């Protein structure tokens, strides 16, 4: 049996499942033995390798519901979805003592400052990254937190006991509002806007099914929330296998061409100036140079390689994981970006 934090190749690691918690009849949490080195930010996710008889493996992204600031072991929470191969496999098969292969924590659905005041808006399993942010803000921050949490019925409320405990622990800083479709119907844009209006000076984080997030984002906009203070989390199923070793040919340096662009990349306090062939992505050229660029899927579906273009122009094939506001703010996906201008400046 492999131990926790055993490295697989140059990127992934194995985590040992210490405990499986049945949160609701349709949701389970996998609690891992704390690895020797495992750092993550509130709201981030793990890309999990799921065995498949048809393809050998598929990859799915599941949010960490634990907080890195409360001394908790890392935990992901998975809710069954109709015809969801990965979620059903996890809920039906994983037991304590099993090992799960994962990629390093990723994602940009995370607060810049835990001392802010927050409005957290979640529906269903969207509570998972929201829970990580909520606990971290209460533990490390000084602000107030209001959670709006919508579910089908009382039995589908994930973390109900934990939320009750936190509300008792932080009575002056945490307000939890439950919305049950069985009693109140599906929340409308107007109802969400009425709820959100008193919190318009806060940072808002939204996660849940697509239609719910669309309604919530419209409600926040109509309530006067500035665009740059609203974040939403988006997941899609990955098609390829990000756990497969990247072939050397894929990351090999290309011979210099006269029309190569120049990429100036800021990453982890360093500054890199790279030749950028017109037919290669940003992730390609950084891997070729041995730079530890953040990425998971290389398909433009997970957002792990999201970065900000501060100068120049690029073209991208798949940008579904970014919304219009992200693109307006200069955000790009490193695995999709190819240079258009002769010089591109990028900050991770």
Cα separation, 211 vs 109, in Å, equals 18
Nearest residue to 319 via CA among 328, 329, 332, 308: 332
Q: Which domain holds residue 166?
A: 118-233
CATH code of 336's domain: 3.10.20.30
- What pLDDT shows up at residue 7? 43
- What pLDDT shows up at residue 56? 77
- What pLDDT shows up at residue 6? 45
CB 175 within 8 A of CB 195: no
- DSSP bridge partners of 17: 32
Cα separation, 312 vs 37, in Å, equals 37
Number of H helices, E strands in the chain: 9, 19
Could you tell me if 129 and 214 lie in one domain? yes
Tokens 């107030």 correspond to 144
Reported as a single tens digit per residue, the pLDDT across 46-95 is 999 998 877 778 889 999 999 999 999 999 999 999 888 999 999 999 99
Could you tell me if 200 and 124 lie in one domain? yes
- What pLDDT shows up at residue 322? 84
State how many domains the chain has.
Answer: 3
Provide the Cα torsion 18, 24, 27, 33; round to 10°: -10
Question: Is the residue at 40 inside a domain?
Answer: yes
CB 49 within 8 A of CB 68: no
* Under-50 pLDDT residues of the chain: 1-9, 247-249
Could you tell me if 145 and 196 lie in one domain? yes
- What pLDDT shows up at residue 239? 65
Q: Which residue among 76, 105, 134 closes a domain?
A: 105
Cα separation, 163 vs 225, in Å, equals 26
Residue 255: strand, helix, or coil: coil
Question: Is the residue at 101 inside a domain?
Answer: yes
Q: Which residue among 47, 81, 105 closes a domain?
A: 105
Cα separation, 243 vs 290, in Å, equals 18
Reported as a single tens digit per residue, the pLDDT across 207-219 is 999 999 999 999 9
Nearest residue to 116 via CA among 93, 132, 133: 133
pTM of the predicted model as reported, rounded to 2 decimal places: 0.84
């Amino acid at each position: 049996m492999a131990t926790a934090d055993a490295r697989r190749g140059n990127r992934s690691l194995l985590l040992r499942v210490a405990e499986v918690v049945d949160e609701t009849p349709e949701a389970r949490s996998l609690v891992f033995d704390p690895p020797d080195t495992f750092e993550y930010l509130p709201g981030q996710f793990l890309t999990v390798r799921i065995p498949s008889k048809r393809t050998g493996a598929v990859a799915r992204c599941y949010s960490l519901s634990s907080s890195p600031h409360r001394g908790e072991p890392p935990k992901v929470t998975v809710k069954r979805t109709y015809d969801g191969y990965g979620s059903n496999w996890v809920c039906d098969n994983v037991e304590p003592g099993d090992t799960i292969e994962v990629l390093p924590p990723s994602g940009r659905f995370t607060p810049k400052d835990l001392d802010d005041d927050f409005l957290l808006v979640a529906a269903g399993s969207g509570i998972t990254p929201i829970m990580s942010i909520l606990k971290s803000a209460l533990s490390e921050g000084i602000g107030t937190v209001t959670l709006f949490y919508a579910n089908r019925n009382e039995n589908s409320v994930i973390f109900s006991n934990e939320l009750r405990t936190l509300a008792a622990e932080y009575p002056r800083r945490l307000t939890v509002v439950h919305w049950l479709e069985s009693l109140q119907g599906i929340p409308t844009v107007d109802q969400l806007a009425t709820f959100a209006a008193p919190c318009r000076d806060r940072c808002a984080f939204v996660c849940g099914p697509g239609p719910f997030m669309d309604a919530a984002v419209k409600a926040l906009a109509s309530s006067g929330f500035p665009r740059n203070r609203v974040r939403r989390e988006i997941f899609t199923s990955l098609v390829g296998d990000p756990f497969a070793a990247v072939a050397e040919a894929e990351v090999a340096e290309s011979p210099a061409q006269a029309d190569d662009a120049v990429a100036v990349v800021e990453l982890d306090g360093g500054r890199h100036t790279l030749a950028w062939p017109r037919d290669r992505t940003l992730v390609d050229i950084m891997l070729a140079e041995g730079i530890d660029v953040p990425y998971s899927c290389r398909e433009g579906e997970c957002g792990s390689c999201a970065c900000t273009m501060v100068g120049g122009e690029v073209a991208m094939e798949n940008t579904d994981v970014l919304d219009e506001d992200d693109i307006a703010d200069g955000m790009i996906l490193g695995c999709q970006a190819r240079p258009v201008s002769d010089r591109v400046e990028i900050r991770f």
